[in-house]
């Protein structure tokens, strides 16, 4: 299989693992609605800029998108959690933001001896 076909399979696999539709990925990567399906079918290869936006929207590196092994391993479940957050409503996102603020505020406090 040629590079375009392999890249398309990797994009589809990453998108499906994150529970995203082609339309959601296109929106997140700021590309046209027909762009993602054409990439996944191996009909074209994205520009470097578009590939970077796709990788970012998918939560992977450009190396991973191009088929190179990842140099980093995200925490177990982190990518799945982020995918779920992308679909969450505003109330859930506010609670998550409050939790993060609470954790980061605790990290900023000096430790007592």
Domain locations in the chain as residue ranges: 1-71, 74-113
**pLDDT of 75 higher than 70:** no
Give how far Cα 100 sits from Cα of 49, 73, 111, Å: 31, 22, 19
Judge contact between 44 and 38, C-beta under 8 A. Answer: yes
Specify the fold of 1-71.
Answer: 434 Repressor (Amino-terminal Domain) (1.10.260)
Name the pTM for this structure.
0.61
**pLDDT of 100 higher than 80:** yes
DSSP structural state of residue 98: H
**pLDDT (mean) for 87-108:** 81
């Amino acid at each position: 299989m040629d590079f375009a076909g392999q890249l398309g399979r990797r994009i589809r696999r990453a998108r499906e693992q994150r529970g995203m539709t082609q339309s959601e990925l296109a929106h997140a990567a700021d590309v046209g609605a027909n762009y993602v399906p054409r990439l996944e079918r191996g009909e074209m290869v994205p520009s470097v800029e578009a590939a970077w936006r796709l990788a970012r929207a998918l939560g992977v590196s450009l190396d991973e998108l191009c088929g190179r092994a990842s140099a980093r391993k995200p925490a177990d479940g982190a990518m799945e959690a982020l995918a779920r957050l992308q679909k969450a409503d505003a109330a859930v996102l506010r609670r998550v933001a409050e939790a993060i603020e609470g954790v980061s505020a605790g990290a900023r406090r000096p430790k007592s001896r």
